[in-house]
Amino acid sequence: NLGMYQVEYFSPIINPPESGILAVGAITKKPIVNKDAKIAIKPIIKLGLALDHRVSDGVIGAKFLQYLRDILQAPDKLI
């Protein structure tokens, strides 16, 4: 987690015996187009994931990132 140092994005490096590692960047405010096609300033966080493909393939990693995105966008889904 380098977000606490205001690093927006970085590439994590897997250290043995890890099979994956998640990079968590800083939360920044960015202009985005919302559902109403209007520009709004929203908090954005960039995540990166490195996986050992001997243990897990990229599809599982992509599904994990999608799940994590969904939870971060709507944390009430955890209840």
Choosing from 29, 38, 53, 77, the catalytic residue is 53
* Residue 53 among the catalytic residues: yes
Closest CA to 58 of 25, 24, 10, 20: 20
Q: Residue 36 has what DSSP assignment? A: T
CA atoms of 12 and 2, how far apart (whole Å)? 10
Task: Give catalytic residues, as residue numbers.
Answer: 53
